[in-house]
Structure 1
């Protein structure tokens, strides 16, 4: 039975309650509160166990010991799942607070992928109306929450001919293909550990211009909920394999609980940082797929500074030459490969350094496509360095589209300076 109470929804369970789960449901992009339905799978089928409120997105669930998986749904959004491991439930006496992010579905549009559930009426051209031409496309497959590239198999099925073509993405998650007639193409994307993506793609314009697309894959949520000793501190995760630090977010309405949901299941170092930016405490934790909980009480105290001097004999500049690209291209130039071979040698001999590389574009064209192009440029550089023997954990990628120009975009000479990947070396703290 579901009972509404003030700003939450409480669910009574027919058996003993093992876990009291509270929190909010938010739109992943806008962070707007959402009303969503919660379900569990039982031998008799799916059963609804709660709903978050429209105005605040808040919910409270009392879950029995047999629940292994939560299913979260809202019309217009992709279904999320959250695994509930036994260790969390058996060790938890207080409520666990979380943020549940929901991702809006991709709507039908011309020359862009969208979920098959969003297909509406579309008239295919007749034989007499077939327009000849070519539409080259690049599809970037990424993790929907972290934005990381995902190696995947992408299959294209033509509605017009029935022909099926399957391609495997490179390490940067990119697949390229061209279409030569107007069509509705079905997409099937499969990647280990992720929900399969079933989508459609309307090929409508055959003008020879490269089009860049994102296919975002969902996996079961991986959430860390930290019961904090004080809301005055910052709580940060640092992956053992490198990459950017992840700052935990406060749960609205729960001032001493901080969460992260843009996570991969792996080992992290949890850092507690005071108002002066000093690391006060730390702990090594293993984050599993599903719900994870940690209390900061009893963490190991950090003594002394965590910053050490650069390796003797090598004092690199913290900024390296930028790598430049042709208009609308992410192909490496020969001079860029020469620079990257030298950078790779430095990184291989100095594993305690990380290279931060950021893709950029000029301001020509659609900014959404510019952002994708800047990502492709960063991915291509990272892939080249990996082929040169650089460890993936030494590479931190980001992309900014046309948002950070180094020169005015007023003439071609200046725009060429903005079509770049910037490189910066950073020494890792132990």
Structure 2
């Protein structure tokens, strides 16, 4: 009986894992390069999920630095390893991805050894002069910026793998050195963290007790913020620019267009302005604070109606001597629903919007307000973006049906003002919505 139970248990686990793998629908394309020279690198890429029950995904970049990974839309760490380079671990919070494909560029920092500074040499001299009876291993720790070598204040955590002892301390720029005497041979896990930098993790072998100094320099690399910009109705685009705010000399971010996705790198926690100029000399401006990992934005350009067609419609209306009628609004408020993490319109939603477009053309005195919402799962900022995309995709659909943009009002409430409590999947489905409200235009 126990054997049957165990077999059933393992079978259920395998089914669960297989089902999870079937849900994989995110394609990561990317490039690995040397941070300083931009030379492409061959590296080992690994997706490490926060959910330890999920198997990691691995790939190797080609000679041109390119790679491709298929992953679940889960939170994970994207790790890159290359010989002679510091390991890069990027926290990727993309539980809700707007597109099926994302593009990233990973800059790798060479792992060149820094010479001990004068302070460490003085420590070594002092210890050698003192005749210490008890043998030990003095370990000195410090953290520096991997690129420019500047000293960093950081949080140090040492975990003994043999004794399960933990040593924690913090350094500062004024007091950058942390030292500890080890009296036993053991293996130590060193973890170093500081704001704005990736977590440093490395094993240290304490294999000699000879009263000499051993310097350990943790070279930290800055957090990486990938950026993807999706332009809808790209033929209407004249130019696009991303500029860092808050500087006397605004820094322009280089964007590369690949398969309709503009991608580049941002500085984590910095504020940016995204400006898209259309061929009709109109500008769409958005602001963004770069989060660690993945940042995604979408700009939907309005398709311009041909001028000759507009002129014909005006003449036709004048010939008919059309007089507005004082008719009551005859369109009923509607709610459209979306799949989790998606802004794609469902087939039934498209049918409903087709009918709404026809009625709004018939009733030109009627305007529409579209408000996008999400459930409460995921990052608040991403939910806000997603609710905006849901409202905008409906607006774009109606615009392409001939409804002018000045008749459409957009709002985005993210996970605020839920229709139902987010305590079950059924209720969360009711919150993944866009509400359509119709009202008479002001005369």
- Report the TM-score, using the length of structure 2 for normalisation: 0.41
* Structure label with greater radius of gyration: 2
- Report the TM-score, using the length of structure 1 for normalisation: 0.42
